Every structure is written in structure tokens, then in C-alpha cells.
Amino acid sequence: MTYTAEQITFMLAEAIEENREYKSWHCSTQHLMALVERVVAEEREACAKIVEEHAKAYAKLEKKPATSAAWAACIDIHDSISERGEA
């Protein structure tokens, strides 16, 4: 998912409102957008890794309809996460 400058500004305003006791930094919208995209990419990669680990665990289990379905679901989820970015 790619966030717009408006969405990032809104999220930043919410975060600032929740934590007024912290000091502020001055940075450009482009810097904020780059930061958000990096965080999203890292989270996407972490999620894809967890799903991949679950798929490997299901693949090692005895072949039953439930474990096969769980394995297939993990693969589908991993593929969906990967399609959204560089996971």
C-alpha cells in the first residue's frame, strides 16, 4: 500500500495529539512518506516470513485435509502479502 502525503499528515497529527509531552522534529512530507513506506515494507516482510514458517510447519505434518487446507491458506496469504510489495 502506498500512502499519500495527506494520509501520512493525518496519521502524524493523530500521533502528535496522543503524545503531546514529546518534542517535535522538523522534516519534510517526503521524508515522512519515505519513513512510512520503509516501516510498511518491514512489517509486510515480517508477516510474510511468519506465514511462510507456518506453511513449512504444516507441510511437515501428516497429510490430512485440514493440514493441507491450512498449508494452502498459508501459501495464499504469503502470496497475497508478497504481491503488495517486496516481501
Give the torsion sign (CA, 49, 55, 57, 59).
Answer: negative
Question: Average of pLDDT values for 55-68?
Answer: 83
- Write down the pLDDT at residue 82: 80
- Write down the pLDDT at residue 80: 85
pLDDT tens-place string over residues 41-51: 888 888 888 88
- The chain-wide mean pLDDT, for the chain, equals 81
The cell numbers describing 80, all together, are: 497475497
- Write down the pLDDT at residue 85: 65
The conformational region for residue 10 under phi > 0 = left, psi -120 to 50 = alpha, else beta, is: alpha
